[in-house]
Amino acid sequence: MDYFIPSSQNDFDHIINGFRKKTLPAKEWTHEAHLIAGLWHVANFSYEEALNTMRENIKDYNLSVGGQNTDSSGYHESITVFWVWLLNEFWQRYSTNNQSFEQVCNAFLTSKYCDRAAAFTFYTREKLLSREARLAFVSPDVQAFDFDVL
């Protein structure tokens, strides 16, 4: 795997705080940064609050770095729901009292669950990448979300 794995508390803080304050440079808003921010939210809030906060923060962040949230680019509702669901499932199953957030996060980032194509276990490419799925949550068309099949 060829991507950035945070190695210090400062690395995590830089990503999480930069995302939340909309100061993270756009080039650093990678797949992994999305996942780090999402996992932090599910670790610190209820599932629903984490999902709602991520929805708003991603939209706001995109605008803050000059992006747009349209029916063909920017924020994607079904992908956000999928990843927050998956991160929450991972957090509920793999976080323990003797592990830090950073340890659990790095375990996720180095696991099979981090795969960019994970959502395609549940969705066809056509369905997930549709305008409809970008603008509103659409249910999976291959099979229902099930952590154990990944």
Q: Is the pLDDT of residue 1 over 60?
A: no
Q: Is residue 2 part of a domain?
A: no
39, part of any domain: yes
Residues 60, 22 contacting (CB under 8 angstroms):
yes
Structural domain includes residue 89: yes
Q: How many Cα atoms sit within 13 Å of 19 on the Cβ side?
A: 26
pTM above 0.75, yes or no: yes
Instruction: Give yes or no for residue 122 having a pLDDT over 80.
Output: yes
Beta-carbon contacts of residue 70 (< 8 Å; ≥ 6 apart): none
Which residues constitute the domain of residue 117?
9-149
Taking only the tens place, the pLDDT of each residue in 9-27 is 899 999 999 999 999 999 9
Query: Is residue 79, in this structure, part of any structural domain at all?
Result: yes
Q: Which amino acid is at 146?
A: D
Residue 4 lies in a domain: no
In this structure, is residue 3 part of a structural domain? no
77 in any annotated domain = yes
Task: Give the chain's domain count.
Answer: 1
Only one residue has tokens 């932090």, namely 40
